[in-house]
Structure 1
Amino acid sequence: MWLIFIRFLMLGLTSFGGPAAHIGYFRRTFVTELGWLDERRFGSLVALCQFLPGPGSSQLGFAIGYGRAGLGGALLAFLGFTLPSFALMYLLAVTSANALGLDWFEGVIHGLKLLAVVVVADACLGMYKQFCQRSLTRGIMLASALTLLLAGALWSQMLVLLLAALLGSRLLVGEVGEPAPPTKLRSHYLVIFGLLLLGAFWCLFSPVDPLAQLAAGFYQAGALVFGGGHVVLPLLQQTVGAELSADRFLTGYAAAQAMPGPMFTLAAFLGADSWQQSPLMGALLATAAIFLPGFLLLLGLLPAWHSLSRKPAIAGAIAAVNAAVVGLLVAALYQPVFVSAVSGPRDMALVLLGFACLQWFRLHIVLLVAGFALAGLGFELLA
């Protein structure tokens, strides 16, 4: 079981580029390299996590860990993937040191952002081959990419996924994969939904204890946000905006974008800053609260999802959503991954070289991480 923790810890240390890149890293590690699940099951989990509120890439990792070793595996996957960015964000909150301003650090980060371009491009290609084999799925992929490139708002992403699911449920009913064994609704899943509802009522009735209010605010943000870390920004600004200065808040947000792993660990920075009496307690409580609703909802739906995926209409909807997700990844490959990383011919040359090495020689991700980090450092030193 500790292999799950080690694998996700390695990803937590190296997964730069945001949720789209995380999907690429997970696919390469757990589908291509380790074979923990096949492309169809992976696509099914991606489709589920796209529809749920909360941190999509962390939910995907949580689901992979759950499928591998139950609840313990899910918790170890979450801990491994989240720990590096949590520790960095907490240290940034409690110290005056800011490594983000150092030239060598900026160079390494730049190199790893270029690697994210390679990983997302590889995921787009691999998932296109798997999920866009029919004319209709290719059309859905293209329409999704064009829509999200031209109108990249959150509502357009959700609309694209919903329309794809509706279209697939009607026209792709033959896309049925290997059936999962039927799962009965067990009592502990009712407990999970009960805890989710209890958390919602807790937020609505505004606890009077300051620490409970802090947790309630982050829980509410995690329960209401769709679309990942960038979308949670305005909700968190409303939650802790009165406690922190605008400069301090934006410092934490900028740092979260430069960190590997999930952007939701911005909660560690904000929680530590908001609870000066015990910064570590504030960081732990805020982080747990913002991740908890998404994980509870996922735990409650996973068994039903595996059973529902056997039905022809649901399987068709999943096939269409998978094609739409490929379009989403193509759009994300350009904005924000490519736009934020590639700034000139030298960067583009490194991306092409890395992509060629990944496709032709199937280099291990650790070697690619080391190579791109050193290349980014070299670019910065030669600048």
Structure 2
Amino acid sequence: MNEAPVRKIIHVDMDAFYASVEQRDDPQLRGKPLAVGGMHRGVVAAASYEARKFGVRSAMPSVTAKRCCPNLIFVKPRFDAYREVSNQIRAIFHDYTPHVEPLSLDEAYLDVTEDLKGIGIATKIAEEIRARIRAETGLTASAGVSYNKFLAKLASDQNKPDGLCVVTPAKGEAFVAKLPVKRFHGVGPKTAEKMAALGIETGADLREKSLEWLARHFGSSGPYYHDLARGICHRQVKADRPYKSVSAEDTFFEDLRDSADLLGELDRIGRHVWQRIEKKGLAGRTVNLKVKYQDFRIVTRARSLDRPVSGCDEFLEIGTGLLRSLLPPPKGIRLLGLGLSNLGTESEAPVPIPLPLPL
């Protein structure tokens, strides 16, 4: 008799977020093809819509992006600026609901089944949020509104940029039927390739397959795919998801071989990571090192303690020790990364053990 209410879920996705922040802050970049990332090395972190018209995409090697768009302008990422804007946007979200699940700096799920302002209509809430984001940050956001997370995320991508798409319970199954399965959450490239080989290209194709057939071909994921084809998703919006790790990495403009240079870069990266760790009030027991050589071979090293790392000095000391085990490098190094995992909060950690000062 007491059925649970139909959920009201909004997925908000900022439009070309990093690139849009750069164009907002520098009027000379507006209307021009722009890529956030290194021009000579690395990959594109984000591309403006002007650049996307030439086929430039995030995660594309910078050299390839330049070939696609000879007039492409590269700018160095400013993650502190992006994080500041992201915090502004999340503050707007929390004016409407405490149930906010950030996925990254530029997107989040909101459960507004019971909203704080008593508006009651998810579409109106989404419109109001988008208007406030534009007014308060000067940026545009797209939003998807539906009765579950799966459909809300699909919908937010439907009318980009600066768009809104609503999928009601009556239209959910038909909406899914028209879409390619490679867009579905949980269907990665390999699974999409396998589905294509089995004649499944769209949601409608997937719906034709029985639960037994899907279980036979996809094992434990079969029931999940069976639900998706019918617009069913039981995943809940989970606020304040715990961090699994905090890390940072940097790709260098030129391959580094000198040990002193590499140790200096690791110190810089590590101090940046520790600032984030302190800001989030986290503690962790495992230090992780990542090294990518000039031939793109990746080597990782890790060291775990039986207690949380006591502070920045110990974090850097352990990271330095891990890197020294690989020095001198057999070949040039193009990327270094350092991180902390096995995380908890500072309140869960014992009192930090002070390190002796160097003589």
Fold match by TM threshold 0.5: no
Higher-Rg structure is: 2
Q: Write 1 or 2 for the structure with the bigger share of strand.
A: 2
Point out which structure has higher relative CO (alpha carbons under 8 A, 6+ apart). 1
TM-score (norm 2): 0.25
Q: Write 1 or 2 for the structure with the bigger share of helix.
A: 1
TM-score (norm 1): 0.24
